[in-house]
């Protein structure tokens, strides 16, 4: 097994995160690498010829991000519009157009340079993804169900897109990229991407950090081919949710709310495990992949909603 480490984690720790029964030719760890509840750590790409590879591809299938560009200036974002969007998404609870929980979010973004208001949607497939798990030993059924759930997750982002357009008018789709997927190669090998985006040289991807941190649109360089045509989907967690409590107790959520619009009804208590302190620094992560991407546009977060 060849291990490519583009994270800041020691190699020994990374090996401890790899499932003991994984037979891989290559594993790439990206800067957002961190263990979770899924079989593979977030922020990884695996190249394997293992016959039973499907058991490693489960968990939040099709989770992804959609970037939208408005025809408005960032100064036009206000509480009234932001609260109206939150109300529309709350009305979708349990169906398409629901943000879901955990680290899924909707950001309003302002370019650091002059430019219009943008929105970034990050949602998963929620309970739909669990339907895939039952078919890990039935390849045809697994593939069919996985594809369905990936489409469902994309439709969910599209429904949030529609809710935004009802409030903010015409929105240009900049990109929509899933980051929990698999790819069967021509030679029969399989690429499993867990929390990593499939991107070819010259293509764009988006890297958020945390709810009050910068977001950067990047373009892949030719060298992305060396890391299985994949790149990070963000900066990743630097601590578990259970370890967040002491930092959450000391964090000034009121000061963050003075800088960033957060809808009415989103309490500080619901943000405690996903606050800025829980995630890695964007610039530190960018430095680890500077050979593989080049920054295009950098944004600051001016509005956040999650945990609706």
pTM score above 0.85:
yes
- Per-residue pLDDT of the chain (308 residues), as tens digits, is 999 999 999 999 999 999 999 999 999 999 999 998 899 999 999 999 999 999 999 999 999 999 999 999 999 999 999 999 999 999 999 999 999 988 999 999 999 998 999 999 999 998 898 899 999 999 999 999 999 999 999 999 999 999 999 999 999 999 999 999 999 999 999 999 999 999 999 999 999 999 999 999 999 999 999 999 999 999 999 988 889 989 999 999 999 999 999 999 999 999 999 999 999 999 999 999 999 999 999 999 999 999 99
Q: Which CATH architecture has domain 2-305?
A: Alpha-Beta Complex (3.90)
How far apart CA 118 and CA 113 sit, in angstroms, is: 13
């Amino acid at each position: 097994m060849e291990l490519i480490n583009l994270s800041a984690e020691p190699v020994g720790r990374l090996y401890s995160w790899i499932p003991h029964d994984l037979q891989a030719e290559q594993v790439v760890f990206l800067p957002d690498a961190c263990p979770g509840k899924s079989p593979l750590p977030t922020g990884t790409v695996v190249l394997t010829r293992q016959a039973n590879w499907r058991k490693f591809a489960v968990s939040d299938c099709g989770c992804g991000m959609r970037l939208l560009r408005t025809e408005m200036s960032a100064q036009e974002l206000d509480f009234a519009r932001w609260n109206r969007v939150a109300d529309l998404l709350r009305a979708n609870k349990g169906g398409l157009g629901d943000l879901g929980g955990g680290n899924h979010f909707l950001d309003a973004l302002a370019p650091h340079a002059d430019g219009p208001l943008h929105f970034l949607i990050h949602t998963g497939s929620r309970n739909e993804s669990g339907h895939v798990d039952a078919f890990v030993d039935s390849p045809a059924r697994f593939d069919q169900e996985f594809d369905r759930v990936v489409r469902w997750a994309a439709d969910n982002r599209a429904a949030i897109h529609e809710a935004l357009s009802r409030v903010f008018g015409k929105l240009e789709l900049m990109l929509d990229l899933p980051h929990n997927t698999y790819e069967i190669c021509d030679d029969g090998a399989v690429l499993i991407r867990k929390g990593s985006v499939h991107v070819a040289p010259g293509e764009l991807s988006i890297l958020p950090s945390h709810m009050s941190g910068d977001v950067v649109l990047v373009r892949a360089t030719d060298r992305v081919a060396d890391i299985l045509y994949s790149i990070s989907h963000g900066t990743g967690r630097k601590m578990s949710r259970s370890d967040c409590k002491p930092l959450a107790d000391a964090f000034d959520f009121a000061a963050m709310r003075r800088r960033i619009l957060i809808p009415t009804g989103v309490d500080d208590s619901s943000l405690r495990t996903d606050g800025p302190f829980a995630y890695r620094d964007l610039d530190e992560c960018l430095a680890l992949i500077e050979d593989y991407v080049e920054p295009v546009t950098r944004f600051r977060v001016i509005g956040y909603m999650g945990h609706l």
